[in-house]
Every structure is written in C-alpha cells, then in structure tokens.
Structure 1
Amino acid sequence: MTLGAPTISPSRMQLRRMAMFARWEDEPALLAFLADHPLGQDLATGWHVRLQFLRRWSRLAAFPDLPARSGDWDPAEPVVAVTLARMRLPEVPRFLKWGKPVERLVRDHPGTTLALAAMRPPHTISTFSVWHSIQEMEDMVHGHSAVPAPDRHAAAMVERRRRDFHHEFATLRFRPLSEHGSWQGRTEIVPR
C-alpha cells in the first residue's frame, strides 16, 4: 500500500499486489525457490532485495531466535527498515491517528528511496523502507531530521508505549546485499 494514502482507497488497498518477507537458510535455497516453486517463479519476475540481518527491537513469535544485534555497521551505509506488527483491532482508530503522520514522514523523507507498507487482514501490518543511510533513518526515528514536523515518529512511539496498538510488534534493520528486478519501472532503488 502507499504510505499516507486515505484509509479506504485504491492506493492503500492494492489487492492485486503481493509482498513477501521471507527468511532463507542460504542463497541456494532461495535460488531453488525462485526457479522451482510456482509462487517463487511468479515472484522472480518482480522486484526483490536480499538482506543481511543487523538489528531488532522487540520480539516476534515467527522469528524467536533473532538476536538483538548481529554484527557492526557504518552509520553512512544504506539500510532497509522493516516493521512487522499484529494489531489490536480495537486500537486501529488510534493507530491510524498516530500512524498516518508517521507514514507521510517516512514516505516524503529525503533520506528514503522507497517506502511501502503491506497488510494481511485482519490485523497484520508491515512497513518496508530503503534509506540512503542508517544515520538518516535514526535521525527520523528520534525527530532530528531537517523536515517539517520532524517529531512525528517519536511522538507516535511515546503514544505506543502509553497504550500499545499491537499484540506483537518489532522493527528490524537490514543491510541490503543485492537488488533484483524493477519496482514500477524503477531500478537501483538501493543506494550504492
């Protein structure tokens, strides 16, 4: 879905598009999936980026063995940020109130090259953003970017700590390793 789009709209509810976030044992297993599995063959014609896990905040039952941190990084290197959340359905109106400004912040931030979201009804939501640098992403998170209303993300996190929107929530940080295909005609989305 398009970040910041109206809640009920074709740009938010893109029912003909699919996003997949998966973990592979190794590169040969991924290549076999893309070549041999019917879903993999369909996905192989789209855009994807291969990632190396760096850091997580919070925990997800689906990935119980992810460490809090894996390796070191340079604040100037590109990064991919992924959030995965299982919403508390009664909290959706509050989440939209606090989340929509954050969506627009990330979507319009000069540090992003791509910012998307996906959902799996009724309550799973994910965001995916590619950043020029870890530093630019962290500045946005903490409200230190030179953009209008830079504190939107920080304010939403304070509200989430006050009363959580989610049953389960985690933010994951990855180093982009390689990029394949094109997204809506765009290539080289991941900065070099």
Structure 2
Amino acid sequence: MSIFSYHLVELPFFVALKGIFSNPISENTEGLIHSETMTAMTLGSPILSPSRVLIGQVALFMQWENEKALENFLEQDRFGRTLAKAWHVRLSFVREWGKFSGFKIPNDKAQLESSNSPVVAVTLARMKPLAVPRFIHWGRPVEKLVRDHPGTTLSLASVKFPNTVSTFSIWKTEKEMTDMVHGHSKVERPKRHSNAMKERERKDFHFEFSTLRFKPIAEYGTWKGQSNFLPNN
C-alpha cells in the first residue's frame, strides 16, 4: 500500500545549496514514486528576512510504493541514511483537493477515527511568476494564522526554485484544521485563510495547486532538539 513521508533535516550549507539545483534522491530509487526536495522557510517571516529562506534546513516530501521501500531507502541509500538520523513522519493518504504532477494519488483512502483525530496537511503549488506579489500579499497573513494557531504542533513553509512553494502542518485535531480553513477558529482575524481562497478562486496564483490531507502513521527522530509532534489522541 502506497505511503507518503515528510522529512526535515539540517545539512551543511554547501551540501544544502547543491540540493537546490540537483535532487539528492535518484529518480531510479527502488519503490520511490515521486519526491520533492525543498528549502525550509519560516511561516510569516518578512520576505527579505534572513529567516525567510533557511539554507541548510531541508524539507523532503516523498511517496513510496509501500513502507518497506521507505525502510530500504533509509537503511541502504547513502542520503537515506542521513535522513534516517533526522526527523520524519509517515503518512496515509486521506484526501486531495486540486492536482500536482508527479504524485500518484491512491485509490485506497485512510479513514480518521473522528474529527478529533490528529491530521497532517501538505500544500504544494507551482507559482505563476507574475502572480507572486499578489500571492505574497494574501499568503503571508495565512502563514501567520497557521504559525500562531493553537491547534498546530509543527508548521513550516518551504520553497524550491524557481517556482515551487509548499506548506506542512501537524494539527492536534481535524476539527481545528477545518475550522481554520473555513474561518471559524477562535483567533484574531480568523478569516485570513478563507479570504485568500476566495482571491485564488477569483484569479489563480498557480499553474498547479494541491492540498493533501493525511492520517499520521508514526514519527521518528528529532527536529531542532524536539520530538513527539504527533498528538497522543
């Protein structure tokens, strides 16, 4: 059964810089369906801030034919062994909105036990260059909303030049995530996300865009000295 994995790893500056221009994971890796390697960003940070694009902090989002293929990669591949020492979470597909090339969306979908179950959300988009200023105007308030939301345990953005952007967030419950999406959260300016989605529907920012929802399977390792980001629901 196909599974997804999301990895966070800190690499030496020049190793990470090289990864911006070449994928460190071979397309011929056995059992790998697709991977996206991106540079981590701080959600909501100023565009010209040093914390905006964090060279050295790398996010990888991958789909595998099965969990055994992922295990073999982490054990046998040189870069895989580096990732095995870092942090990652394994994910079962629940739902998709939109479409993003490369990944093969499974026909079999995992089921959450209830709306109070934890959930992981990943967004992926390929930007229209001329739409970037408008996207930043509408997107940064949404980044701050997700970053500061009491329902998240871990959230970040990432980028792959020239035009791929992504977000990743772990939510304590599906309800808290869907309340945020629809503007029902009990936080300041709760409609930032729903307003941005209305603007996207009016005039799209992207060539392609997908929001993926997952049931977390298991978490491994530490990120910035922390672990256990998955809620124990």
TM range (shorter): over 0.9
**Structure 1 residue corresponding to 2:223, chosen from 180, 183, 190:** 183
**Structure 2 residue corresponding to 1:58, chosen from 98, 103, 110:** 98
Q: TM-score, normalised by structure 1?
A: 0.96
| Compared CA separation, residues 111 and 163, structure 1 to 2 (3 A) | same
Q: TM-score, normalised by structure 2?
A: 0.80
The one-letter code sitting in structure 2 at the alignment partner of 1:115 is S
Name whichever structure is richer in strand by fraction: 2
| Compared CA separation, residues 45 and 55, structure 1 to 2 (3 A) | same
Aligned to 2:209: 169
Please show how residues 9-20 of structure 1 align to structure 2 within 5 Å.
Answer: 9-20=49-60
Say what the alpha-carbon RMSD is for the aligned residues: 1.1
Consecutive unaligned residues in structure 2, runs of 5 or more: 1-40
Aligned to 2:111: 72
Question: Aligned partners of 1:185 and 1:70: how far apart in 2?
Answer: 33
For the pair 1:3 / 2:43, whether they are aligned, the reply is yes
Please show how residues 1-192 of structure 1 align to structure 2 within 5 Å.
Answer: 1-67=41-107, 70-73=109-112, 74-192=114-232
CA contact (8 A) 1:130 1:190 kept: yes
**Identical counterparts, % of pairs:** 53
Question: Aligned partners of 2:180 and 2:68: how far apart in 1?
Answer: 36
Aligned residues: 191
Shift >6 Å, 4+ stretches: none
SS in 2 for 1:126: strand
Larger deviation: 167-176 or 3-12? 3-12
Question: Aligned partners of 1:191 and 1:135: how far apart in 2?
Answer: 14
Consecutive unaligned residues in structure 1, runs of 5 or more: none
Question: Which structure carries more relative contact order (alpha carbon 8 Å, separation 6+)?
Answer: 1
SS in 1 for 2:69: helix
The CA deviation string for residues 15-60 of structure 1, in whole angstroms up to 9 with x for no partner, is 1111110011111111110111111111111110000000000112
